[in-house]
Structure 1
Amino acid sequence: MCGIAAVHDPSGRLDPTPVGMLDALTHRGPDERDHRRVGACAWLGHTRLSIVDLDGGGQPLGGPDGWTLVCNGEIYNHAELRAELGEHEFGTRSDSEAALVLLRRRGPAALGGLRGMWALCAAAPDGGFLAARDPLGIKPLYWAEVGGARYFASELRALPVAVQAAAEAFPPGCCWTPERGLVRFAEAVPVRTESPDWSQLPGEVAEKATREVLIDSVRGHLMSDVEVGVFLSGGLDSSIVAAIAAAERAEDGGRLRTFAVGTEGSPDLIAARAAARHLGTEHHEMVFDAEQALAAVDEVVASVESFDASLIRSAIPNWFLARLASEHVKVVLTGEGADELFAGYGHYHGSSAGDLDAELRRALGDLHGLNLQRCDRVTMAHGLEARVPFLDAEVIAHAMSLPAGCKELDDGFEKAHLRRAFAGWLPEELLWRRKLQFGTGSGAQETLAPKLESLATAAELDAADAPVRTREELAYYRAFRRALPRVRPEAVLTRFATA
């Protein structure tokens, strides 16, 4: 996991070299930093959090033909790509080098063959340049065009102040080259070409397939040369991830580390303790109060680079959680994405089969500006990498091949199919625990919202020249403006893009 920055300027006016962009990304990669000018038109910069190939995986990565790459993320199928492309093409054990070799050998159209989470920029001495982002936008990338030059960075704050007003999110599943402009290479929801007609098979068959594809994904997401932990809220999704990861660690003779936060007596803390006891993990927790949460608001808003109330409210406990985990591990797995795959939110239900499928696809496509943005930023603020096994391409393809009947409420419980798939892996009271959103379950909403509401009056909300909906959101907006005064609200709120 890293921070990347790049500039492509066909005029060649890259003097002075924009090294200052990396200063704003040090938190994303505290272990190393490097940069390189490539030809007359491009500059690539990188800050590194060392996870795979600790000694030899520094970036920018160069190829024998001069193509050079910086990549933020993880390529989970890099071993398979090495075998397919030929080990002689590689000079390191870095998973990111698989992206470079794939691009050199097969071009941008092959990017859909990368299984993982990533954003990258690559350049060649002859002026060739490419920027691309994974199909879901799990990893962030922003860009801006000013005076014919294009700027790219993992976070808005890393873009030069003079270009921030032109910044916007780089679209997931797309690549950009000077020759062809913006081209889509993959959709958020991949199509599984060979999928059974689940409606004609016993429910146990589909449940077994769901269990197996998730086990395979978690196993792949444990790829690392450093220890991997799990964010454990005590909810269904994180508990399933922890159960699989704990079993994998036990097979290797190790013990999984899990992490939880909340206010005193909050439901998530209590449930997480029970899950950790059952799984035998080395469990760590932190209890925060209203004063600590309020004191963190400015830093959280600056890190997340948004002012959406639901996003920031859940980001605050996540920020404390990431800080706690970073004291023990460099990588964590999370349960993000399960609700969008298996219809975990109440508003999904009551829809027809076709409407539900369309709504879940829309939700998956919006994740890059919502939960995934929060997940990436609060973890990287503390030099911690977060991985999302529910959002592996194979898991998505499988889950979206299931009929709507697998995702309907069962006796009032959402995600009943997923619960049944992991029967026996967790105690019944945890397996069938009713869903609470993280901001609620951690106690953050009840603790923080009244205090934030008091920071703005109803009259101030009515008079606000800002796209805010509540007094709480106005408080977040003010913090956002303090951190990023030139960034347009449209660049950071998904609700503008989908309105």
Structure 2
Amino acid sequence: MCGIVAIHGDPDSAMGRRMLARLAHRGPDGTGELRCGNSWLGHQRLAIVDVRHGGQPLVGRGYGLIVNGEIYNHLSLRDGFTSAFATGSDSEVVLHLYAESGTTRFQDLEGMFAFAIAGPGDAFCAARDRVGIKPLYWATTTDAVIFASELKAFDAEVRALVRPFPPGHYWTPEEGLVRYAAIPAAAPSDVAEEGYYIQRIADVLTRSTEKQMMGDVPVGVLLSGGLDSSIVAAIAARWCSARGTRLPTFAVGLEGSPDLAAARTVAEYLDTDHHESSFTAADVIAAVPKVITAVEQYDPALIHSSVANFLLAEYVARHVKVVLTGEGADELFAGYRYMRAMSTPDELHEELVRSVTTLHSLNLQRCDRTTMAHGLEARVPFLETEMIELGLSIPAAMKLTSDGQTEKRLLRRAFAHWLPPSIAWRKKEQFGDGSGVSAILRRASPTLIDDREFAARDLEAPPMRNKEEYAYYKLWAEQFGGVNSTATLDFSMTT
């Protein structure tokens, strides 16, 4: 996991270095740059695979390469090449794939990634994984096309031009923007037996999770004590046990919060190497400005869960560099509360497809930014291509909860024998609620904006639903533009 910057056209290396410095948090283990043809490539490294020799930019086969992410099937892809590999890095397989096949085999890459490749003259290509697990932004100026892992990397005068690079696409100077892969969201299968899907869920998710244990450093699990993270922990714990090690698990919350208690129950049941940390209301309030800067968003629901993730990642990064999470399960198996109101299979399936295809701009953005703010890589087994394909192929009628059924019942049944019953059938709670963060922020936000200021809020701002959202928006605007305001909200004074 890393931070990347690429400039193609008339590259300004000084600008590239400024941008790369703003991404230092994403890769504290090394910095590299390369001028290649009409391009400049920069890389901040978090060393996970081939720690000693995998520094980037990687150079070979006439090209330079920078990658943010992991290629989980790199070993199987290596078998198809006769050319020698210079490193054990999973990223190097992208270099050989492009050198031999151009863009035609990008769909063969399994993993989470954003990368840029440059060669002699005008040769250049940038691409992003099909789900958008790893971030990538781009901007076109009069002189160049510029790419970076985060919005904040761009110079202030360029930010108004910046837009998200779409998942499942690549860009070259010759072809422009091209879709190379889509999220597999075909119509649900007509197989009617729930038992068939329960077994398939167990098999595919186990395989996806074990694949993501890849690396030359220890891998842990962010354990909230909810169903999704507990399932991932159970699979990973068995994988570790088979190799004579104990899985590191991590939990955070207010002292006495439901998540801390539930995570402790799971950890004891699975015999993991468990670590937990409690925070105070003051810690939550102090983190808000940092979180808004990190996630580059101001939506209150996203901020609530992001603060919890941010505080957890800050603690976890002292112990490991890589963690697995339960992201994506609610989108595949209809775990959200609002989905309970959906009464027809077609309506629910359409919403599930929409929620998966927009994950890159919401929960995955939160997951990436809050962890990478502390140089921590987060992996998402539920969002492996095979798992998405299976999840969206399950008849939506089996996911409906409007008839009083428990949400995510097939997923629960698939792993009920792996977990304590109290966890396997624990009701869904948002991370911000279960950790205690949401209650703190709801109490604090009205004191930050008074009625008069809210009524007279800047008309250039987007419509605001409440004072809390406006408070977060003002903090966001100071960092990323969008409102003529220089006022600073003093979160530190709120208790």
> Residue 277 of structure 1: CA displacement?
0.7
Correspondence for 2:377 among 363, 366, 385:
385
Question: Contact 1:123/1:129 (CA < 8 Å) preserved in 2?
Answer: yes
Residue range with higher mean Cα deviation, 122-131 or 401-410 = 401-410
Unaligned runs of 5+ in 2: 485-495
- After superposition, residues 23-422 of structure 1 pair within 5 angstroms as 23-39=21-37, 41-64=38-61, 66-86=62-82, 88-189=83-184, 197-199=190-192, 202-349=193-340, 350-409=342-401, 411-422=404-415
> Residue 162 of structure 1: CA displacement?
2.0
> Residue 351 of structure 1: CA displacement?
3.5
For 2:184, what is the secondary structure of its paired residue? coil
Correspondence for 2:467 among 459, 465, 471:
471
Q: TM-score, normalised by structure 1?
A: 0.93
1:7 aligns with 2:7: yes
Question: Contact 1:165/1:486 (CA < 8 Å) preserved in 2?
Answer: no
CA distance in 2, matches of 1:220, 1:161: 40
For 2:416, what is the secondary structure of its paired residue? coil
> Residue 60 of structure 1: CA displacement?
0.6
For 1:332, what is the secondary structure of its paired residue? strand
The corresponding residue for 1:496 is none
CA distance in 2, matches of 1:147, 1:320: 41
Provide closer, same or farther for how the CA distance between residues 335 and 15 of structure 1 changes in structure 2, counting only shifts above 3 A: closer
For 2:113, what is the secondary structure of its paired residue? strand
> Residue 89 of structure 1: CA displacement?
4.2
For 1:179, what is the secondary structure of its paired residue? coil
- Which amino acid is the alignment partner of residue 46 of structure 1? H
Provide closer, same or farther for how the CA distance between residues 475 and 17 of structure 1 changes in structure 2, counting only shifts above 3 A: closer
For 1:258, what is the secondary structure of its paired residue? strand
For 2:80, what is the secondary structure of its paired residue? helix
For 2:375, what is the secondary structure of its paired residue? coil
> Residue 196 of structure 1: CA displacement?
6.7
Provide closer, same or farther for how the CA distance between residues 487 and 105 of structure 1 changes in structure 2, counting only shifts above 3 A: farther
Q: Deviations over 1:168-226 (max 9, x none)?
A: 1111111111111111111123669xx97421xx3222111110000000100000100
Q: Deviations over 1:308-354 (max 9, x none)?
A: 11111110011010011111100000000000000101222323212
Q: Aligned-pair RMSD on alpha carbons?
A: 1.7
Question: Contact 2:13/2:40 (CA < 8 Å) preserved in 1?
Answer: no
For 1:479, what is the secondary structure of its paired residue? helix
Q: How many residues align?
A: 479
Unaligned runs of 5+ in 1: 489-499
Question: Contact 1:165/1:487 (CA < 8 Å) preserved in 2?
Answer: no
CA distance in 1, matches of 2:306, 2:5: 25
Provide closer, same or farther for how the CA distance between residues 487 and 388 of structure 1 changes in structure 2, counting only shifts above 3 A: farther
- Moved runs in structure 1, 4+ residues, more than 4 A? none
CA distance in 2, matches of 1:168, 1:355: 30
Q: TM-score, normalised by structure 2?
A: 0.94
CA distance in 2, matches of 1:226, 1:395: 25
CA distance in 2, matches of 1:15, 1:388: 34
1:432 aligns with 2:425: yes
